[in-house]
Amino acid sequence: MMTGFFYGQTHSLFLPVFPDPSSARGGVTGKSIIDVYDHYDFLGIWEDIREKVGEEEVFFIIDNAKTHLPFRRWLRRQGITLMETSGPKGFYYFGRVNGG
């Protein structure tokens, strides 16, 4: 599985998410996703983008996959506000990294 984000032409990062060896079925889990975003300093990158573009809020989108539930909880614990909206194939969560 790949995950990533981009902002304009100056900021982007695509990350491989590897299967979680402790998973019952050996697949990607919420822990796998959190480990990757934490390892690559996701919050620091978003803060850098926010500062460089001069915006108080930066948005990103995640879907309603079951593996994203722990990730959404982790984001909330990091101070990220999530807003739910419905899309053509389910719910999407728009994340907002709030300014300091």
Distance, CA of 37 to CA of 35 (rounded, Å): 6
DSSP label of 19: -
Q: Flag whether the pTM goes above 0.75.
A: no
pLDDT at 100: 46
Residue in 69, 83, 7 with CA at minimum distance from that of residue 42: 7
CB distance 48 to 87 below 8 Å: no
Helices (H), the chain: 30-39, 42-53, 68-77
User: Domain map of the chain by residue range?
Assistant: 2-98
- Report residue 35 as tokens: 């480990």
Q: What is the pLDDT of residues 62-93, one digit of tens each?
A: 777 788 889 888 888 888 877 777 777 666 66
